[in-house]
A = this chain, B = another copy of it.
Amino acid sequence: MTDIAIRVALAKGSFHLDVDLTVPASGLTAVFGPSGAGKTTLLRCIAGLESAARGLVRIGAAIWQDASTFVPPHRRAAGLVFQDTRLFAHLSVAANLDYGRRRIPADRPVPGRDDVIDLLGLGALLERRTSGLSGGEAQRVAIGRALLASPDFLLLDEPLAAVDAARKGEILPFVERLHRSAAIPMLLVSHDVEDVARLADRVVLLDAGRVRGQGAPTAMLATSAPDAAWAVTLPASVVPGGRTGTSLRVAARDVAVFLDPPGPSSALAVLPAAVRAVDGAAEGQALLTLDANGVRLLALVRQDVLERHGLGLGSIVHAVIHHATPA
């Protein structure tokens, strides 16, 4: 069993959480949903902080909770990064970072401290008390503290809400690398569609305490999120000048389709392609799945424009890629 099964029921006042969820025990699962949907509550149930929750929590072969078992939170060590950071006010930043790390059982590898400190830009803060930290600084310390505890399952509750875009741009790839190399499964709560689309291997949609859907980010976000979400990863070689062996991420909104081959332009690449699928998307848009000589592409276009030019399933087009970022 290499999947994660979570079936929890919990009532909090008038709010009822009733989640039934199975996800692979690897990669990053994004939990997405409106404010008050129960995302934080779900993470708390998984971490073992809601002792009133009933149900099953199984991480691979390890049963954290079922009808007869309730593993206490400190033995789950589900590195939960709280939405409100919860740094220890009586400890320095350094001692906060080391709190979990010093408690890692002897048979587990202890993560390197300096990498995390460098990455999160905490070097200058180590001797500081937590009380004077700015919002973003506190969030970074909280992330670092959780990472350094070497968790079996990382639960991130909007960990980057107060972190600026530039820093986010550094932290996210690290988290990504982390979850790919260490194979720690992760659950990320985020309101930021960009982050979710970029990082997540799959998305779980939560609303009013229930799972409303689950699947690949592209498919799932279509029903709930703005258009920034869909993207594909391509071999860089499809773009003139792209270095072989590397990949590019192309967002669906940055792909347009033309009937005739366009002339010289600011576009990165023009690829002949066939329209393999047309899905509805929000606000009168359509998501085209294209096959460009074996390379899958997504294009987000206006439904009405499509109709006006008689474009549809099976059409042969020229896919124009306007932007791409290294993946």
Binding site for B on A (CB under 8 A): 12-13, 33-36, 39-40, 83-84, 128, 132, 134-137, 140, 157-158, 161-169, 191-193, 224-227, 241, 253-254, 256-260, 262-268, 299-302, 304-306, 308-309, 311, 320, 322-323
Cβ-closest chain B residue relative to A265:
B258
- Docked-complex contact A134 and B253, CB < 8 angstroms: no
Cβ-closest chain B residue relative to A168:
B191
Chain B residues near A253 (CB, 8 Å)? 254, 322-323
Q: How far apart sit A154 and B238, CA to CA, in the bound complex (Å)? A: 49
Q: How far apart sit A259 and B264, CA to CA, in the bound complex (Å)? A: 6
Given contacts A134-B35, A135-B158, contact A163 B191 (CB under 8 A): yes
- Docked-complex contact B302 and A35, CB < 8 angstroms: no
Cross-chain contact of A305 among B132, B137, B256, B268 (Cβ < 8 A) = B268
A86 to chain B, nearest CB (A): 12
- Docked-complex contact B259 and A256, CB < 8 angstroms: no
20 extra interchain contacts, Cβ-Cβ under 8 A, other than A36-B136, A260-B264?
A: A33-B164, A34-B167, A35-B162, A36-B134, A83-B135, A158-B162, A164-B191, A168-B191, A256-B266, A256-B267, A257-B265, A258-B264, A262-B265, A265-B305, A266-B299, A266-B302, A267-B305, A268-B302, A300-B323, A322-B322
Cβ-closest chain B residue relative to A14:
B124
A204 to chain B, nearest CB (A): 14
Given contacts A226-B165, A322-B256, contact A266 B35 (CB under 8 A): no
Chain B residues near A227 (CB, 8 Å)? 323
Given contacts A36-B134, A135-B84, A162-B161, contact A263 B259 (CB under 8 A): yes
Given contacts A258-B263, A263-B262, A266-B302, contact A34 B132 (CB under 8 A): no
- Docked-complex contact A164 and B268, CB < 8 angstroms: no
Chain B residues near A193 (CB, 8 Å)? 165
A159 to chain B, nearest CB (A): 11
Q: How far apart sit A56 and B253, CA to CA, in the bound complex (Å)? A: 46
21 A-B pairs in the complex with CB atoms less than 8 angstroms apart: A13-B132, A34-B166, A35-B134, A135-B157, A158-B161, A162-B191, A165-B192, A165-B225, A168-B191, A253-B254, A258-B262, A258-B265, A260-B262, A262-B263, A262-B265, A265-B320, A266-B301, A267-B305, A268-B302, A301-B322, A302-B323
- Docked-complex contact B264 and A167, CB < 8 angstroms: no
A18 to chain B, nearest CB (A): 17
- Docked-complex contact A265 and B309, CB < 8 angstroms: yes
- Docked-complex contact B132 and A12, CB < 8 angstroms: yes
- Docked-complex contact B256 and A135, CB < 8 angstroms: no
Q: How far apart sit A304 and B267, CA to CA, in the bound complex (Å)? A: 11
A123 to chain B, nearest CB (A): 12
- Docked-complex contact A266 and B226, CB < 8 angstroms: no
Chain B residues near A35 (CB, 8 Å)? 134-137, 140, 162-164, 167
Cβ-closest chain B residue relative to A226:
B165
Cβ-closest chain B residue relative to A137:
B36
Q: Considering residues A35, A164, A225, A266, which has the most beta carbons from chain B within 10 angstroms of its beta carbon?
A: A266
- Docked-complex contact A165 and B191, CB < 8 angstroms: yes
